Structure 1
Amino acid sequence: MPRTLEPGGLDQLPSPLPRRLATILRPELPSLAQEIIEEIPRALPEYDRPLQTPYSQALTIGVERALIQFVARVAEASPSTVRHDDTYRRLGRFEAHEGRSLDSLQAAYRIGAQVAWRRVMRLAARHDLSSTVTARLADALFAYMNELASLSLAGYMDARPAEIEDQRRRLLQLLLRRPTSASDRAIGELAELTDWEVPAEVTLVAVPPDARCVRGALDCDVLVDLTADEPHLLVPCGSSAGAPVPLSDERRAMLAEAFPDDPVAAGLTVPIEFAADSLRWARQALSLVETGILDDGPVISCEDHLVTLWLLSDCTLIDQVARRQLAGMNDLEHGQRERLVATLHTWLTTRGTAAEMAETLHVHPQTVRHRIKRLEKELGGRLTDPDDRFAIEIVLRAMWVRNRSRTEREEYRDEG
């Protein structure tokens, strides 16, 4: 693509052509251009558009400039071609932006050549041109059309990768709006247009803003949007016996290579209609990395931190639940409250004896017994009510996970 337009496949105009041909051809250009512009949309419905649209205007300009330039070449050996060349590269870029192959534009060039040749045959008879001159003019015309097709191909190939990337970005946006906003048909059409096979399962990956990406390291089936305020990408995954297959080691290595300077977070592997949920979890994991709650690393997987993500899904709400469930201790001095909370956490999570808890807390067993009595006094019946006790244990676990990372950061800072 493109094929030569017949005959000969010449790369440049044969020479010399009698310069008087330019005098014969030039008066025909306005009406010939109009004839070609009318014939193309009749033969090719995809070009049947209102004349004021940018595409129709570009096509009209292309036809007019092609004819003017061809006659200029007949009249002189080497006319300027800078503006001329850009016109036909732009037509190729238009085809890429329209999401079509170059077949339609190739056909338009053929139609233009056929209409022009019919006019040349009439002029040859009218001006009594020899068969030799007419044959050379035919070769010149088809060689010129081949040149225009080559220019359009260059523009098409320049624009096609960027256009495919843009269409895949729109496909990713559609998938993240499901299940309410995007139909299977719309997704299927855009996937086919971009040569992307729709998978059963996907993993969404959250990327820090401004992270450096080595695009060549990403597999060709990964959908990418690094232009968003919160950059992200989609990795197709498989399923086995109806169960999702988490991100493979090969995919993790790919992500680590693609983002060598910053950690990224991979959400859970889910059916494609739940892609937005996977991305939400990935972004939550990335935020916990940024605050130091999750360990730093090249690829953080939500699969490895499910309970933490659940417990810390709303840190503000944790404080509110703690305020209510531990209401009896809210007025205590800070240090005293922290000691009682630590004892309560150990008690609920280990169910150990006073001696065992004392060893964990690095205090005397009698101190543990004293604190438990204080807890029973401050919290009243909450420790005997199953629902309240469960709520207290959950909020203490969440506070412990959050505060552990904060303590570790402070200790690290003090050691430094």
Structure 2
Amino acid sequence: MTKASAQPWRGLDASVLTRLEPDTAAIASAAMDQVRAGLRTPLDDRTAANLQVTLDVALHAFFSEIGHPDVTTDRELYRAQGRAQHTAGRSLEEMLGFYQSAALGVWRQLASAAPAVDLPTQAIVELGEALFAFIAELSAAAADGYAEARSQAARAGQARRDRLLGLLLAEPAASRDLLDDAASQAMWVLPGRLVVAVTSADVAPQLLDRMPGRVLVGRHHDLTAVVMPADRLEWYLGRLRDLLGHDQAGVGPIVPLRSAALSARRASALWRLTRTGALGDSPLVHTTEHRIDLLLTADPELAAEFSKDVLAPLAGLPEPARQRLTSTLAAWLARPDQPQAIGVELHVHVQTVRYRIRQLRTLFGGTIDDPAGRFALAIALRIDPLVSREPTKPSERSVHPLRPDDR
């Protein structure tokens, strides 16, 4: 595609301007009138002045480039105007509306002058097409500037939120004055109580732009932390559940603001346990429902060592036999000396249960009849699936529709 075809005003016959002899000042005035006519509220003086400058420069550029493929005027003014529009807190649509209204005003002035100089209809049509193509290019430059400013603001805003999240989860805890200052900069109201959820680092991108503004999302060590005020916790947890997809999150306890690190620490520990697959595939796994598991695995190396040593008699068995005896041992510890009930639970004949119990007594000796031994076996069986499995891939789960945002 040639420059002239991409920018049709460059391919026009420059004699069109010679015949029209456009009055730039009158055209600019008519364009401003057209802009004002489309407004519900009057322009403030500063905006009107900026628009007038833009109109003057744009008209000069348009007339300079008509019929001159090699003449190029700078588009930085329009990018700068887009950046300024965002900084002022005004919408991109408003500014582009100004551009379109101004273009209409310019076109009406040019079209009204055409009959007096016998400009052919085709030339008028081509001039109109070229004008609106020119305005589209200026609008694109302004939109680029607006997007650039929005992106910069988003990065700066996220950096402030990241700093606040880091201070909230720091150990030892940051001072209240430091938290207040960071919260003020991040424009985030510190809650009295909160909950921290933790999930995979890979989940951060899908949470950052879609969790409510009252929720902080950011990197915490090698994971993603989600800090949620307690006042609308069920709503925040519902949104988090919807966005997790096939991932899981560990949800810490509700704590006072000063104890946010504790909630994050427990949530992190629980999330790591979910990777074994032993806690099921629920999207949200709550620490309040797994405190025994957290307690037993607080020292993972010790827990794994303990479980391995206590269950060592089963280690040398073929896998099918080991699984059968493990399930029988767990059932027997829950219902000692109740082979009939154990048979019903395991869906096997009572004689099969008795046979397996004899095998267990042979393997473990008097341990399974000693209260302390049974206690150790019960703990080891609880720990074993939490420490002995390789991390699993997230299970397949459906993603529920999103609720309305509350930003």
Q: Where on the TM-score scale, by shorter chain, does this alignment land: which range?
A: 0.5 to 0.7
Query: Is the CA contact 1:201–1:271 (under 8 Å) kept in the aligned structure 2?
Result: yes
Q: Does 1:223 align with 2:211?
A: no
Q: Does 1:390 align with 2:375?
A: yes
Counterpart CA distance in 2 for 1:285 and 1:298 is: 13
Counterpart CA distance in 2 for 1:291 and 1:207 is: 14
Q: Does 1:283 align with 2:268?
A: yes
1:320 alignment counterpart: 305
Q: Does 1:359 align with 2:351?
A: no
- Alignment identity in percent? 27
Shift of 1:254: 1.9
Residue in structure 1 matching 2:155, options 155, 159, 162: 162
Counterpart CA distance in 2 for 1:343 and 1:157 is: 62
Q: Does 1:189 align with 2:174?
A: no
Counterpart CA distance in 1 for 2:389 and 2:346 is: 15
1:146 alignment counterpart: none
Query: Which whole-Å deviations, capped at 9, do the CAs of 1:54-94 have from their partners, x for residues lacking one?
Result: xxxxxxxxxxxxxxxxxxxxxxxxxx887799999999999
Counterpart CA distance in 2 for 1:329 and 1:157 is: 62
RMSD over aligned CA atoms reads: 4.8
Counterpart CA distance in 1 for 2:251 and 2:241 is: 11
Query: Which whole-Å deviations, capped at 9, do the CAs of 1:186-214 have from their partners, x for residues lacking one?
Result: 11211122222222222222233333516
Q: CA 1:374–1:159 in 2, change beyond 3 Å: closer, same or farther?
A: closer
Counterpart CA distance in 2 for 1:9 and 1:400 is: 70
Shift of 1:383: 3.6
Q: CA 1:84–1:12 in 2, change beyond 3 Å: closer, same or farther?
A: closer
Shift of 1:259: 4.2
Counterpart CA distance in 2 for 1:338 and 1:261 is: 28
**What secondary structure, in the 3-state scheme, does the structure 2 residue paired with 1:292 have?**
coil
Residue in structure 1 matching 2:357, options 372, 378, 381: 372
Query: Which whole-Å deviations, capped at 9, do the CAs of 1:300-357 have from their partners, x for residues lacking one?
Result: 4334444445455566544422332244555556555544433221111123522222
Query: Which whole-Å deviations, capped at 9, do the CAs of 1:212-239 have from their partners, x for residues lacking one?
Result: 516453221111215974222211114x
Counterpart CA distance in 2 for 1:344 and 1:372 is: 8
Residue in structure 1 matching 2:193, options 183, 201, 211: 201
Shift of 1:367: 4.1
Q: Does 1:173 align with 2:166?
A: yes
Residue in structure 1 matching 2:229, options 218, 233, 236: 236
Structure 1 residues 14-413: aligned runs within 5 Å:
159-180=152-173, 182-211=174-203, 212-213=205-206, 215-225=208-218, 229-238=222-231, 248-260=233-245, 262-311=247-296, 317-330=302-315, 336-399=321-384
Q: CA 1:375–1:175 in 2, change beyond 3 Å: closer, same or farther?
A: same
Counterpart CA distance in 1 for 2:221 and 2:305 is: 33
Which moved further from structure 2: 284-293 or 264-273? Answer: 284-293
Counterpart CA distance in 2 for 1:316 and 1:227 is: 23
Counterpart CA distance in 1 for 2:385 and 2:249 is: 25
Query: Is the CA contact 1:285–1:294 (under 8 Å) kept in the aligned structure 2?
Result: no
Query: Is the CA contact 2:276–2:389 (under 8 Å) kept in the aligned structure 1?
Result: no
Query: Is the CA contact 1:93–1:159 (under 8 Å) kept in the aligned structure 2?
Result: no
Counterpart CA distance in 2 for 1:371 and 1:157 is: 69
Which moved further from structure 2: 247-256 or 396-405? Answer: 396-405
Q: CA 1:335–1:278 in 2, change beyond 3 Å: closer, same or farther?
A: same
Query: Which whole-Å deviations, capped at 9, do the CAs of 1:112-149 have from their partners, x for residues lacking one?
Result: xxxxxxxxxxxxxxxxxxxxxxxxxxxxxxxxxxxxxx
TM-score (norm 2): 0.52
Counterpart CA distance in 1 for 2:266 and 2:240 is: 17
Query: Is the CA contact 1:204–1:279 (under 8 Å) kept in the aligned structure 2?
Result: yes
Q: CA 1:362–1:400 in 2, change beyond 3 Å: closer, same or farther?
A: farther
Query: Is the CA contact 2:166–2:220 (under 8 Å) kept in the aligned structure 1?
Result: no
**What secondary structure, in the 3-state scheme, does the structure 1 residue paired with 2:213 have?**
coil
**What secondary structure, in the 3-state scheme, does the structure 1 residue paired with 2:255 have?**
strand
Shift of 1:173: 0.8
Residues paired across the two proteins, number? 277
Question: Structure 2, unaligned stretches of length 5 or more?
Answer: 1-43, 54-72, 88-145, 395-407
Question: Structure 1, unaligned stretches of length 5 or more?
Answer: 15-79, 95-152, 239-246, 410-416
Counterpart CA distance in 2 for 1:374 and 1:259 is: 45
TM-score (norm 1): 0.51
**What secondary structure, in the 3-state scheme, does the structure 1 residue paired with 2:201 have?**
coil
Counterpart CA distance in 2 for 1:90 and 1:332 is: 71
